[in-house]
Chains A and B, each alone.
Chain A
Amino acid sequence: MSFSEWLQELSNKMIFPIDLPSQKYTNRVTHKLLFLSSIISVVLGIIYDSMKTLLYFYGASVLICLILVVPAYPSYNENKLKWVERGSNGKSNNLGKSNIEIAG
């Protein structure tokens, strides 16, 4: 196995995919959470008259966002797309192909 093949295999293992609804969900969560926390952190900064409060609050919310969104939790893989299994006869094979075309 050459180095680049090994690298390819390693990066394939590093993907940690999640299903489609969860992809939409995490995207929404990221933007809503960060937008809200940016406004709240500015408000807190003004109330407490300190830039540090703002910085810590925003930093903490970015961290929370990372923890919520980045790992591939099992619950993010409950609605995986069901691909048609490669059957023994030619029929189901054809069916699988056309499915892919429609999905694309």
Chain B
Amino acid sequence: MNLRKELTNFLNLCFIFSGAFMFWKGLSIITNSESPIVVVLSGSMEPAFHRGDVLFLWNKNKYNNIGDIVVYEVEHRQIPIVHRVLREHKNRKGEQFLLTKGDNNNGNDIPLYAPGKKYLQKSTDILGTVKGFLPQVGYVTIWVSENKNNAYLFYGLMAIAALFFNN
């Protein structure tokens, strides 16, 4: 039992977590998006995006072009949605309104929006525009987050690895 060694290990763990947090927040500032990297959860954009694909977002653009794939959030729904811009309208005040649709869905997204809402507003509703794509790498997060046992297994393995291989 060596208290100093154990404290050092704990400190190293703290460094890793704070480093990851700093990286995430730094990326957030650069891209101007709340969550610059997202994992696809639904199949509504198949065959372009499948469950578990990782998307890189950018949100410094003032307007979206037609055909852009955007990530937006709806009030009272936790999970952001990744869909394609079907129509865009810019008015004289400089606001842009978007109508979206999933490639794999039959109809547009109006039923998904908040009640009474017919368009998304670029400045307030859009989390980011998809710029880059990495396939299937995010499946681990789905695997962990969708089943309690998997989550315990995952964190247990992490803990064992941390105990053994701390040098």
Contacts of A11 in B (CB 8 A): 163-164
CB distance from A52 to the nearest CB of B (A): 12
Contacts of A5 in B (CB 8 A): 1
Per-residue contact bits, chain B 126-167, to A (CB 8 Å; 1 contact, 0 not): 000000000000000000000000000000000000011000
Q: How many residues of A contact B (CB 8 A)?
A: 7
Interface bin, chain B: under 10
The chain B residue with its CB closest to the CB of A2 is B1
The chain A residue with its CB closest to the CB of B164 is A11
Q: Report how far A67 CA is from B163 CA in the complex, Å.
A: 24
Indicate if the CB atoms of A4 and B164 lie closer than 8 Å.
Answer: no
CB distance from B141 to the nearest CB of A (A): 21
Contacts of B164 in A (CB 8 A): 7, 10-11, 14
Per-residue contact bits, chain A 1-27, to B (CB 8 Å; 1 contact, 0 not): 010110100110010000000000000
Q: Report how far A5 CA is from B163 CA in the complex, Å.
A: 12
The chain B residue with its CB closest to the CB of A11 is B164
Q: Report how far A2 CA is from B2 CA in the complex, Å.
A: 12
Contacts of B1 in A (CB 8 A): 2, 4-5
CB distance from A55 to the nearest CB of B (A): 10
Contacts of A14 in B (CB 8 A): 164
Point out residues on B near A: beta carbons under 8 Å. 1, 163-164
Q: Can you show 9 pairs from A to B with CB atoms below 8 A apart?
A: A2-B1, A4-B1, A5-B1, A7-B163, A7-B164, A10-B164, A11-B163, A11-B164, A14-B164
